[in-house]
Amino acid sequence: MSVLTLAFLLVVMAGVAAGLGLLWSKGSLNELICDGACGPSAVATPDALAREGRPGSTATRAAATGRLDPDAIEEAVRDELGSGDLGSHVGFAAVDPADGTVVASEGEDVYVPASTTKLLTALAALDTMDTQQRFHTRVMRRDDRIVLVGGGDPQLVTSLPRKKEYAEQADLRTLARRTAESLRRVNTTSVRLDYDSSLFKGPSASPTWEKSYISEKIVTPVSALWVDGGTAGGVRVDDPPKAAADTFARLLERRGIEVTNSPIETRAPYASSSQPLATVRSATVAQIVEAMVAKSDNEAAEVLLRQAAVEAQNPASFEGGVATVEEVLERLDVDTTGLELFDGSGLSRSNRISPQTLAEVVVASMRSDHTKSLVSDLAVGGFTGTLARRFGKAEAGLGVARGKSGTLTGVHSLAGYVTDREGTPIAFAVMTDRTKSINPFVTEAALDRVVAALADCSCSSPVP
């Protein structure tokens, strides 16, 4: 092989590698790598964004050995926290993941957290349940009656899409096929169908939510049984369990099983000897949590809040779920001063959380193999999830910051972790809740600048 030919091949190979790198960073290889959409844990910081001496932003880097300097951190964020773009009620906290010390804070108060509330819900779910646990949607039988039993799978769908979604692993079409097969084995082709959604208790909508959330179909009423997120034709339904049962009835009839009634709510036979006629299993708790955080899925958050309560033997309701979250935070020694929770999604404007609590939740998740996946679930600034279009003008945090955002009208928050110029991780939270008169994109950009200031700061020194 001539020198020119070898050089040409090397150029071609370099071009292919560069092209694959670009496709990887954009997520275009997800179908091959993850058999569907990849979560944030599959995203690596692009080499082009890595500064000299800068480690990648994955959770495994959280063991950097620098000692954080409180004065340097406060100086780094002072001007950005003082920006008028953040409004008049601003809070900030920075916590050292190495020992949980609060190294800097601004605004000793509590704030409306919006969707950063989901960090608390996610931590409680991962801490309380087996992360490999799956939720079962079952069909039980008694004589000529079968009962569709909701197991609290927030990602149950009518049929699995061709392009797989990470957390969608159970569908009614498969459940109908398995049910029909079981019925035919006992020569049954006609049944009465009812449904059971009794796993969850209490109201399906928080009394602290805006009344328009349900009436204007902004949020699905919380239920242990729904399909397609409680929607039909892209519109949220008023009665998710009934809609799921009606869909299941149609699927059974397509399989040659006559359904003789319009399904109604009932209780399934739960005798110890009863075996399900058919079952489908959800994704794992860890996968559902990852999808919930990545998409900021309000409905999934409320379901996970109740599933954690079930595991903790508390009522599977708003109150029982909140009690479970508070128990977990207390057990993990997270500061909960001023904490007021009314839901798991952050839709309630009555929620109050301090920046210190949010930052400490991030640190608490790093301490256990059981919960550390939450850190890698956080969106990557400028690349994934709710931060995919953030940090465009705060480039120091691009690909380096990882976090969970929160947004309601006049409310913005961001919590997660970032590494400084020396590669030392800083857990942070920045919150503001009086910005109705400010363009929300302007406020979001101001939050990004606070985090970018941490990324661009030499805020640590080597440990002796």
Q: Pick from 346, 304, 110, 324: which is nearest to 208 by CA? A: 346
Mean pLDDT of 304-324: 98
**3-state secondary structure string across 192-231:** EEEEECCCCCCCCCCCCCCCHHHHCCCCCCCCCCCCHHHE
Q: Pick from 172, 222, 180: which is nearest to 197 by CA? A: 222
Instruction: Determine, yes or no, domain membership for 215.
Output: yes
Instruction: Determine, yes or no, domain membership for 357.
Output: yes
Instruction: Determine, yes or no, domain membership for 89.
Output: yes
Residue 65 confidence (pLDDT) = 56
Cα–Cα distance measured from residue 196 to residue 177, given in angstroms and rounded to the nearest whole number:
20
Q: Which residue, 285, 304, 334, sits at the end of a domain?
A: 285
Residue 23 confidence (pLDDT) = 43
Residues 6+ apart with CB under 8 A from 129: 285, 307, 308, 311
Instruction: Report the first-to-last Cα separation within the chain, whole angstroms.
Output: 54
Residues 6+ apart with CB under 8 A from 321: 121, 124, 302, 305, 306, 308, 309, 314, 344
Q: Which residue, 285, 311, 338, sits at the end of a domain?
A: 285
Same domain, 100 and 157: no
pLDDT value at 102 more than 80: yes
Cα–Cα distance measured from residue 250 to residue 258, given in angstroms and rounded to the nearest whole number:
9
pLDDT, one tens digit per residue, over 346-403 is 999 999 999 999 999 999 999 999 999 999 999 999 999 999 999 999 999 999 999 9
Same domain, 347 and 421: yes
- At 55, the pLDDT band (50, 70, 90 cuts) reads very low
- At 50, the pLDDT band (50, 70, 90 cuts) reads very low
pLDDT, one tens digit per residue, over 274-301 is 789 999 999 999 999 999 999 999 999 9
Cα–Cα distance measured from residue 152 to residue 171, given in angstroms and rounded to the nearest whole number:
13
Instruction: Determine, yes or no, domain membership for 15.
Output: no
Range of the domain at 117: 59-126+290-462
Q: Please tell me the least confidently modeled range out of 165-169, 286-290, 291-295, 331-335.
A: 165-169
Contact 429, 85 (CB under 8 A): no
pLDDT, one tens digit per residue, over 387-446 is 999 999 999 999 999 999 999 999 999 999 999 999 999 999 999 999 999 999 999 999
Helix axes 440-455, 70-81, angle to 10 degrees: 160
Q: Pick from 379, 341, 336: which is nearest to 361 by CA? A: 336
Same domain, 222 and 281: yes
Q: Pick from 111, 105, 78, 94: which is nearest to 434 by CA? A: 111
Is the four-CA dihedral 281, 285, 286, 291 of positive or negative sign? positive
pLDDT value at 321 more than 90: yes
- CATH, residue 395: 3.40.710.10
- At 66, the pLDDT band (50, 70, 90 cuts) reads confident
- CATH, residue 235: 3.50.80.20
Same domain, 196 and 320: no
Same domain, 268 and 324: no
pLDDT value at 1 more than 80: no
Same domain, 147 and 207: yes
Same domain, 170 and 100: no
Mean pLDDT of 126-133: 97
Instruction: Determine, yes or no, domain membership for 26.
Output: no
Same domain, 253 and 340: no
Residue 144 burial by Cβ neighbours in a 10 Å radius (0-12, 13-18, 19+): exposed
Same domain, 75 and 145: no
Q: What is the mean pLDDT of the chain?
A: 88
Residue 275 confidence (pLDDT) = 85
Q: Which residue, 267, 285, 303, sits at the end of a domain?
A: 285
Instruction: Determine, yes or no, domain membership for 35.
Output: no
Mean pLDDT of 128-154: 94
Same domain, 324 and 458: yes
Same domain, 237 and 301: no
Residue 456 confidence (pLDDT) = 96
DSSP string, 11-35: HHHHHHHHHHHHHHHHTTTHHHHHS
User: What's the domain count of the chain?
Assistant: 2
Instruction: Determine, yes or no, domain membership for 48.
Output: no
Mean pLDDT of 251-275: 87
- At 87, the pLDDT band (50, 70, 90 cuts) reads very high
Same domain, 369 and 315: yes
Instruction: Determine, yes or no, domain membership for 44.
Output: no
